[in-house]
């Protein structure tokens, strides 16, 4: 595919010898939103955790297959460096509770021991918070702990934390499942704005959300990639029967 | 922006982990050392005579720790007779009524009691028992030990009972069982292993105490069962013999340490067995 | 007609309340006894008790500064050593190796350390640690006492270590998984995660454990008595003999004659009681707060 930034070939992964992801091959296009959609427990989260090599940190985990980022084999790189090129946002907002909002944004640099001048730090914090549309809301309380923020604001802070590292890819693991509808809408709007500058892969089991925000959708069921294509096409004329059944709510 | 090289970070990572492991080993090595030392030096002193003879004056061979063994057993017995009923009841009280005002006050009292240095409790026993009796006695020593053992038993009992699900209690009450019976015949038995663990730990702690006995039980070179008179105990014997200038007495102290250590460690390991085997799972 | 049995429910409840009262009264009685019996000394010694260094039963002067300083010195040095070792154990067993054979063995080893009687520690200290310190002092050209405050501190450190180590381990294992994962996903190494995320999170809980260890150190008697040297001179030189409040009582109480003498020793016990209780309660409070916050 033209402009594919992530090439995944025959990826299988799981725990204790059992595969949760079975032979998935996929190409993720650059600077677009790709939704990984499917019923709960079908391996979606495990799949994206293989991209930034978080899956292998679990006990008794195994991975086979290839993942290429810009043509480089991800499993031959040092995982620490890899994770700086890929950002991750989790299901429940989890800003570091012992750090202020300011420090949370640049946490990636802090944790990596990178020294930054005050002006650099200020610049990154303001730019990133503006990028996630949080700057105006928190600019007067930057040095307070982030725990007083609402769920939606906390999640935007977590997105900022990931974006501050200027990743090529942003992995979102059901980022709105713990949020109320208003906050969900704000995050969806943000994702739409971000996609031109970063590649987004979003796991979701919320069908309408996938239809709303993604350019491409991959439907995964029981660990296998059932169908992949442009969202509007997949949703209106699905090629696989299983996709059609899922979209019409027959299961999941 | 100045980055730290990945090499340096990875090296620092390895060094940190290695340092943590090294320091942890330093922390646990003394245990092995103590055990090895005492086994080597003490095991050789153990024989039937050692366990059944009384201490002999300096110069004479063949001294033993019979008085100390009997003494420790009697002191623990007195301490247990007081602290077990009171401690378990107090634990039940805290588990049932812990959220009330009196419950919070009592819990504070028990936790404070737990933290009082044992020598201070010895002084209290002195003031309460030795002074009025005008003499040292096993009774006063037992009372001091009871005060040391009480909070251990109480807190263990409370903790165990709180872990028992409310549904068990409600099932009994729903069957028409009275409240006292529910607590005593249903809840308490379910928590028996935890309570027993608490008792064993308390006994282990009491058996090893010598500071409070210095001026309550005081020690006795003869074998006696009279609790109104001074009484010997293993830890006191160890203290007296170890700090004496006579090598024969040092040897006795090693033997006594071996016996005490075996007893205390056996109790500690027994508690692990008790909770593993007898613990009621919910 | 149904006979309604008296279920003794109210009797039972009253008995429980009685027991609770009894325990609370016990503590109050302990405090009151200590206070009442130290009154003669309080009146006699006044404030010089904690500012003066002359402790002379013969002339009737009872001033305890030497022992207070000795207690504080040995306790804080022991605390410093124990805290470093506790951190290592807490991180090793609460972060790196939470399960597995190594972990269980070490956990048990640390717990058993707490079960060893004080006299046995003292005995080992006397016959093993003291010669080492003595040799060390000879090499440095100092008087080879062997016994002294440093020796006592080292012994104390291992005695109080289990308290701060086990609480520290629990606090570090309470750190939420997703926080650690967030840090890893930003490209942090394992040690960076524990140093910059786990430890700050568990900070106050660990402090609580440290305070509890301090509380134990202040009141520890037998082991200290056997290796501290029992001197009456006030000195800050940790390599020389010293004395602590608890070891003073242990050495002199059974032979004390005279009301003021005895009463002064009881006054020291009262001081010990107040200080260690305060520190213990503070430590427990901090731990309760931290555990409660972590459950949210």
User: Domains in chain A, ordered, with CATH?
Assistant: 4-98+170-247 (3.40.50.300)
**What's the confidence (pLDDT) of residue C6?**
60
**What's the confidence (pLDDT) of residue C4?**
53
Q: Do B117 and C22 touch (CB under 8 A)?
A: no
Predicted confidence (pLDDT) at residue A1 exceeds the cutoff of 60: no
**What's the confidence (pLDDT) of residue C294?**
63
Residue C106 in contact with partner chain B when CB distance is under 8 A: yes
Reported as a pLDDT band with limits 50, 70 and 90, residue C290 is confident
Q: Cβ distance B164 to B191 under 8 Å?
A: yes
Write out the H or E segment, with its range, that includes residue A66: strand A61-69
d(CA C109, CA C121): 15
For the ranges A219-223, B82-86, C59-63, the lowest mean pLDDT is seen at C59-63
Q: Do C281 and B108 touch (CB under 8 A)?
A: yes
User: Domains in chain C, ordered, with CATH?
Assistant: 67-265 (1.10.3720.10)
Write out residues in chain B with pLDDT < 50, as ranges. none
Neighbours of chain B (3+ CB pairs under 8 A): A, C
Residue B7 in contact with partner chain A when CB distance is under 8 A: no
CATH class held by domain B51-278: mainly alpha
Q: Do A84 and C182 touch (CB under 8 A)?
A: no
**What's the confidence (pLDDT) of residue B281?**
66
Predicted confidence (pLDDT) at residue C1 exceeds the cutoff of 70: no
Residue B166 in contact with partner chain A when CB distance is under 8 A: no
Residue C201 in contact with partner chain A when CB distance is under 8 A: yes
In chain B, where the domains are located? 51-278
Q: What is the pTM of this model?
A: 0.85
Which ipTM was obtained for this model?
Answer: 0.90
SS3 A219: strand
Average pLDDT of the residues in C164-184: 91
Residue of C221, C209, C222, C246 whose CA lies nearest to C110: C209
Residue C25: CA count within 13 A, CB half-sphere: 6
> Based on C-alpha coordinates, what's the Rg of chain C?
24
Q: Do A97 and C185 touch (CB under 8 A)?
A: no
Q: Cβ distance B216 to B130 under 8 Å?
A: yes
Average pLDDT of the residues in C210-222: 92
Average pLDDT of the residues in C59-67: 88
**What's the confidence (pLDDT) of residue C296?**
47
**What's the confidence (pLDDT) of residue A252?**
57
d(CA B195, CA B155): 9
Q: Do A94 and C188 touch (CB under 8 A)?
A: no
Residue B11 in contact with partner chain C when CB distance is under 8 A: no
B134 backbone φψ class: left, alpha, beta (φ>0; ψ -120 to 50): left
**What's the confidence (pLDDT) of residue A37?**
92
Average pLDDT of the residues in A48-58: 90
Q: Cβ distance C135 to C232 under 8 Å?
A: no
Q: Do C185 and A98 touch (CB under 8 A)?
A: no
Residue B126 in contact with partner chain C when CB distance is under 8 A: yes
């Amino acid at each position: 595919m033209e402009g594919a930034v992530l090439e995944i070939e025959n990826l299988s992964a799981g725990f204790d010898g059992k595969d949760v992801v079975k032979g998935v091959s996929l190409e993720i296009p650059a600077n677009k939103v790709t939704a990984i959609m499917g019923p709960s427990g079908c391996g979606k989260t495990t799949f994206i955790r293989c991209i930034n090599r978080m899956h292998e940190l679990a006990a008794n985990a195994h991975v086979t297959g290839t993942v290429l980022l810009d043509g480089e084999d991800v499993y031959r790189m040092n995982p620490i460096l890899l994770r700086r090129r890929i950002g991750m946002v989790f299901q429940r907002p989890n800003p570091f509770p012992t750090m202020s909002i300011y420090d949370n944004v640049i946490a990636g640099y802090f944790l990596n021991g990178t020294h930054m001048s005050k002006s650099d730090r200020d610049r990154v914090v303001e730019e990133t918070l503006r990028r996630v549309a949080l700057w105006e809301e928190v600019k007067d309380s930057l040095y307070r702990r982030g725990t007083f923020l609402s769920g939606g604001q906390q999640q935007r802070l977590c997105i900022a934390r990931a974006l501050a590292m200027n990743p090529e890819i942003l992995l979102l693991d059901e980022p709105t499942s713990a949020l109320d509808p208003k906050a969900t809408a704000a995050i969806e709007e943000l994702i739409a704005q971000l996609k031109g500058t970063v590649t987004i892969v979003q796991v979701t089991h919320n069908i309408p959300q996938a239809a709303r925000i993604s350019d491409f959708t991959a439907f995964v069921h029981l660990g296998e990639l059932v169908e992949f294509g442009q969202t509007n096409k997949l949703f209106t004329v699905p090629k696989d029967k299983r996709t059609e059944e899922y979209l019409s709510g027959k299961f999941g | 922006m100045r980055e730290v090289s990945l090499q340096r970070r990875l090296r620092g990572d390895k060094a940190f982990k290695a340092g943590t492991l090294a320091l942890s080993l330093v922390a646990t090595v003394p245990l092995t050392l103590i055990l090895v030392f005492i086994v080597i030096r003490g095991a050789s002193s153990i024989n039937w005579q050692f366990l059944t003879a009384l201490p002999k004056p300096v110069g004479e061979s063949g001294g033993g720790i019979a008085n100390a063994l009997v003494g420790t057993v009697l002191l623990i017995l007195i301490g247990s007779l007081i602290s077990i009923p009171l401690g378990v009841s107090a634990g039940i009280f805290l588990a049932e009524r812990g959220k009330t005002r009196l419950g919070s006050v009592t819990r504070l009292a028990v936790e404070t009691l737990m933290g009082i240095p044992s020598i201070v409790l010895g002084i209290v026993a002195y003031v309460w028992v030795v002074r009025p009796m005008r003499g040292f006695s096993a009774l006063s020593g037992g009372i001091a030990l009871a005060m040391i053992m009480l909070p251990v038993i109480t807190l263990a009992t409370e903790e165990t009972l709180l872990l028992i699900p409310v549904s068990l209690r409600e099932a009994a009450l729903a069957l028409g069982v009275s409240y006292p019976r529910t607590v005593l015949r249903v809840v308490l038995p379910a928590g028996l292993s935890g309570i027993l663990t608490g008792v064993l730990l308390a006994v282990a702690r009491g058996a090893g105490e010598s500071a409070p006995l210095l001026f309550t039980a005081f020690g006795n070179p003869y074998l006696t069962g009279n609790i109104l008179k001074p009484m010997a105990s293993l830890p006191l014997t160890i203290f007296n013999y170890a700090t004496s200038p006579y090598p024969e007495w040092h040897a006795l102290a090693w033997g006594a340490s071996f016996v005490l250590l075996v007893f205390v460690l056996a109790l500690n390991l027994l508690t692990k067995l008790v909770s593993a085997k007898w613990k009621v799972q919910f | 007609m149904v006979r309604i049995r008296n279920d003794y429910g109210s009797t039972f409840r009253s008995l429980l309340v009685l027991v609770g009262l009894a325990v609370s009264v016990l503590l109050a009685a302990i405090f009151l006894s200590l206070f009442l019996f130290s009154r003669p000394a309080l009146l006699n010694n006044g404030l010089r008790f904690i500012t003066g260094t002359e402790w002379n039963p013969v002339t009737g002067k009872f001033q305890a500064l030497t022992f207070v300083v000795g207690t504080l010195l040995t306790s804080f040095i022991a605390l410093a050593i124990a805290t470093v070792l506790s951190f290592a154990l807490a991180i090793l067993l609460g972060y790196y190796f939470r399960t597995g054979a190594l972990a269980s063995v070490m956990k048990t080893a640390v717990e058993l350390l707490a079960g060893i009687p004080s006299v046995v520690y003292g005995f080992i200290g006397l016959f093993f640690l003291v010669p080492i310190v003595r040799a060390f002092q000879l090499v440095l050209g100092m008087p080879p006492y062997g016994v002294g405050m440093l020796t006592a501190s080292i012994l104390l450190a291992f005695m109080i270590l289990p308290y701060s180590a086990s609480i520290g381990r629990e606090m570090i294992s309470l750190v939420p998984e997703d926080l650690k994962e967030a840090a890893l996903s930003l490209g942090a190494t394992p040690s960076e995660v524990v140093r910059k995320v786990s430890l700050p999170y568990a900070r106050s809980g660990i402090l609580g454990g440290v305070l509890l260890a301090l509380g134990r150190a202040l009141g520890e008697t037998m082991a200290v008595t056997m290796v501290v040297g029992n001197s009456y001179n006030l000195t800050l030189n940790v390599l020389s003999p010293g004395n602590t409040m608890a070891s003073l009582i242990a050495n002199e109480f059974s032979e004390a004659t005279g009301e003021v003498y005895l009463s002064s020793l009881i006054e020291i016990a009262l001081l010990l009681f107040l200080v260690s209780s305060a520190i213990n309660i503070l430590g427990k409070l901090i731990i309760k707060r931290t555990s409660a916050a972590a459950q949210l």
